[in-house]
A and B are shown apart, each in its own frame.
With several copies, the nearest count.
Chain A
Amino acid sequence: MAKMNLLQAVNNALDIAMAANERVVCFGEDVGVFGGVFRATSHLQEKYGRARCFNTPLVEQGIIGFANGLASQGSVAVAEIQFADYIFPAFDQIVNEAAKFRYRSGNLFNVGGLTIRTPYGGGIAGGHYHSQSPEAYFAHTPGLKVVVPRNPHQAKGLLLASIRDANPVIFFEPKRIYRASVGEVPEEDYELPLGKAEVVREGSDITLLAWGAQMEYLELAAELADKEGISCELIDLRTILPWDVETVAASVKKTGRLLISHEAPITGGFAGEIATTIQEQCFLHLESPIARVAGLDVPYPLALEKEYIPDQWKIFEAIKSSVNF
């Protein structure tokens, strides 16, 4: 075990993946010599050479188009999009191409070797274009997997699993806690399962569900609730698509209540999908409406960021409302 922050865990996972399989190739804007603007790819070019870790020209649609082609050829393509806010020029290559590659060819060709890494989320004074959480856009797209880790240990295991998964994966990295989240991480090669949520804390009164950086607020809110005698069960969804209905439904059947929190604007966010599925599966168990604590329906603001964030206080209030319904 070693103490690592989330960035180091990502870097370590990439290092291990590249060492274990020479077909793994990492690329993106400033990913080469510089090691990425967050330094997630530090030293990889030094270690594995320019052919396997390199800068691309500044063109996201090209990066993902290139990655699709490279993956279809049989290489393992790990593409970085510098900020999740800049993934949209590549939307067509992701949604129309990567997601449909295997299906449309009847499995003659596939881009299972593709992983897209990208830092997402706010709380870093990034304004509209360095703060977005676009996971829901991709979660409406059959053929993709969407993964978000909450801490260094999860990041390493989930990223290694994503790189090796036989399907295209978008791996969203919570940049607010890139350095702040520090923890023990096994030094060896390990994978955590995709498509499986994790119950990180058991409780009996209400189920709290989130992913990525938002898990921190959930935990703080659960502590606040604890003090009021409300017992919260905490679930980290980890994989947004395909998501683990079973684990969530089992928890809600037990607690009778569900609160989902994400940073993205509330309307059309992925909480809607979860809530709808759960109200269907757990209708007779629900003691109060499923609650959402999410971003407002506005572009991510700068000066009013603190007010925008679905923080522990908002979650705590929603917990109380749900329990007192």
Chain B
Amino acid sequence: MNTDTKDRTIYKPQFIRGDALKIPTYRVLKQDGSLYKNAQAPEVDQPLALRIYSSMVRTRMLDERGLASQRQGRLSFYMQSTGEEATTVGFAAALDDQDMIMTQYREQGALVYRGFTLDEFMNQLFSNALDYGKGRQMPIHYGSEKLHFMTISSTLATQLPQATGYAYGQKLAGEGHCTVAVFGEGAASEGDFHAALNMAAVLKVPAIFLCRNNGYAISTPASEQFAGDGIAPRGIGYGMHTIRVDGNDILAVLEATRQARKIAVEQNEPVLIEAMSYRLAAHSSSDDPSGYRSNAEEAKWRDLDPLLRMKNWLLQQGWWSEEEDKALFEADRQAVMAAMKKAEKVGRPHIDEMITDVYDIPPAHLQQQLQDLKAHIRLYPEVYPKSALQLDAPEGVNRG
């Protein structure tokens, strides 16, 4: 047993209270862009700082336009990450571009940072023939093999034990890469969370588990999700290196993740990071938060906007100006809208894609089912007009 209890004996039955272990929060940057007195900025040069900031801005614009076009009925669904951009861009900026990222669904910031193009985003959102996922999943289920970004799955927390396994494979491969799994504080209630972190600690894998504690899981506040001091203390329970950071503080997220990566890759030890933030927008385009939280609460967090915080820092560094800022926002807004228009015009996935990728090669029964379906579509072209048109066309050009 690795619990050597010899020299830690008590003779009175003292219960340790649930709040015995309070985990502090690591912060660097104040909202006004200055550093905390005792804090030190991580090494960030101007190009990196601007890559990070422009990724945050682009993410914001993507989300703004994404929701707007859902409201216009152009998109069936959208999920914004507003307020959490420092976390989702910041962690990505701390990684090697070859490290695997496995996310939940609200981490478009990481994809932007890695260089997923607006066209790539839009093809997925519009489920068109160029979507790498072949239009099979709902909007926001991005994935990119070349960017080492695992295709998103809607089922919460399933990516966590998968990250443990992926990282184990990376350890076997010995090429110095790690896996970062990102998840919400709600998803951390799932059994898969427990499985993932415990296995990662026991099997000593180079994985970083990054919890976005944004206060809500749809309508459920964190206070009805757990009773302890957030998610971080669980890491200690698993015998795992753990840190809590201010998730709206780009410099803190960046530095914590850099150091976490060092531990993961050099020591083959997993790390848990809990990033404290707030989901400023609705859960998704299907949600209306006014039923479960107050405007005042939202306003409080709006004042802690991570973009503003970073901008203030950039301004203080002399690396950025208000004019450049305005121009960037506007340019991105335009670029997003242009990409949308383009993606909307791309046709949808070919009917033949109905049965590909279920297996490596479609077995006989699936081929038969497709053939029957096509025969049926020929009978009723007016009912299935889009696929009727495809019947005699060659298969679409939709591989990425």
Contacts A166-B360, A301-B136, A302-B138: A65 and B349 contacting too (C-beta < 8 A)? Answer: no
B218 at the interface (CB under 8 A from A): yes
Closest B residue by C-beta to A145 = B359
A290 to B252, CA, bound (A): 65
- Is B357 within 8 A of A102, CB to CB? yes
Give the residue among A51, A72, A74, A308 with the most B Cβ atoms within 10 A: A72
- Is A143 within 8 A of B358, CB to CB? yes
- Is A313 within 8 A of B136, CB to CB? no
- Is A307 within 8 A of B365, CB to CB? no
- Is B377 within 8 A of A307, CB to CB? yes
B180, chain A: closest CB distance, angstroms = 13
- Contact segment of B54-62, B316-324, B379-387: B379-387
Complex contacts, A25 vs chain B, CB 8 Å: 172
- Is B135 within 8 A of A70, CB to CB? no
Please tell me which one of the listed residues B131, B169, B351, B357 contacts residue A75 in the complex, with CB atoms under 8 A apart. Answer: B169
- Is B380 within 8 A of A58, CB to CB? no
B27 at the interface (CB under 8 A from A): no
B98 at the interface (CB under 8 A from A): no
- Is A298 within 8 A of B158, CB to CB? no
- Is B387 within 8 A of A307, CB to CB? yes
Please tell me which one of the listed residues A104, A108, A246, A314 contacts residue B376 in the complex, with CB atoms under 8 A apart. Answer: A314
Complex contacts, B264 vs chain A, CB 8 Å: none
A133, chain B: closest CB distance, angstroms = 16
Contact-residue bracket for chain B: 35 or more
Please tell me which one of the listed residues B132, B151, B373 contacts residue A296 in the complex, with CB atoms under 8 A apart. Answer: B373
A57, chain B: closest CB distance, angstroms = 4
Contacts A97-B153, A102-B360: A108 and B353 contacting too (C-beta < 8 A)? Answer: no
- Is B137 within 8 A of A167, CB to CB? no
A134-173, CB < 8 A from B: 142-143, 145, 166-167
- Is B355 within 8 A of A106, CB to CB? no
- Is B165 within 8 A of A77, CB to CB? yes
The 0/1 profile, CB within 8 Å of B marked 1, for residues 291-316 of chain A is: 00000111101111011100101100
The 0/1 profile, CB within 8 Å of A marked 1, for residues 145-187 of chain B is: 1000011011110101111111111101100000100000011
A246 to B363, CA, bound (A): 12
- Is B162 within 8 A of A245, CB to CB? no
Complex contacts, A298 vs chain B, CB 8 Å: 354-355, 358, 366
Please tell me which one of the listed residues B136, B186, B359 contacts residue A106 in the complex, with CB atoms under 8 A apart. Answer: B136
A102 to B353, CA, bound (A): 12
B34 at the interface (CB under 8 A from A): no
Complex contacts, B134 vs chain A, CB 8 Å: 106, 303
Please tell me which one of the listed residues A57, A70, A167 contacts residue B169 in the complex, with CB atoms under 8 A apart. Answer: A70
B141 at the interface (CB under 8 A from A): yes
A315, chain B: closest CB distance, angstroms = 11
- Is A129 within 8 A of B153, CB to CB? yes
- Is A304 within 8 A of B154, CB to CB? no
The 0/1 profile, CB within 8 Å of A marked 1, for residues 204-240 of chain B is: 0000000000000111100011100000000000000
Give the residue among A105, A106, A166 with the most B Cβ atoms within 10 A: A106
B59, chain A: closest CB distance, angstroms = 22
How many residues on the A side are at the interface (Cβ–Cβ under 8 A)?
84
- Contact segment of B14-22, B194-202, B295-303: B194-202
A317 at the interface (CB under 8 A from B): yes
The 0/1 profile, CB within 8 Å of B marked 1, for residues 67-105 of chain A is: 111111111010000000110110011001100101111
Complex contacts, A102 vs chain B, CB 8 Å: 357-360
Question: Which A positions have Cβ atoms within 8 angstroms of B?
Answer: 23, 25, 29-30, 32-35, 37, 51-52, 54-62, 64-75, 77, 85-86, 88-89, 92-93, 96-97, 100, 102-110, 112, 125-130, 142-143, 145, 166-167, 195, 242, 245-246, 266-267, 296-299, 301-304, 306-308, 311, 313-314, 317
Given A32-B219, A97-B162, A267-B365, 19 more A-B residue pairs with CB atoms under 8 Å apart are A32-B220, A58-B225, A59-B190, A61-B161, A69-B162, A69-B167, A73-B100, A73-B170, A73-B173, A89-B190, A97-B155, A110-B360, A112-B360, A242-B363, A246-B364, A296-B354, A297-B365, A298-B355, A304-B135
Chain A to chain B: the 5 pairs with minimum beta-carbon distance, closest first: A65-B161, A69-B165, A62-B195, A303-B135, A73-B169
Question: Which B positions have Cβ atoms within 8 angstroms of A?
Answer: 76-77, 100, 102, 127-128, 131-138, 141, 143-145, 150-151, 153-156, 158, 160-170, 172-173, 179, 186-187, 189-192, 194-196, 198-199, 202-203, 217-220, 224-226, 286-287, 291-292, 348-349, 351, 353-360, 363-366, 369-370, 373, 376-377, 379-380, 383-384, 387, 398-400
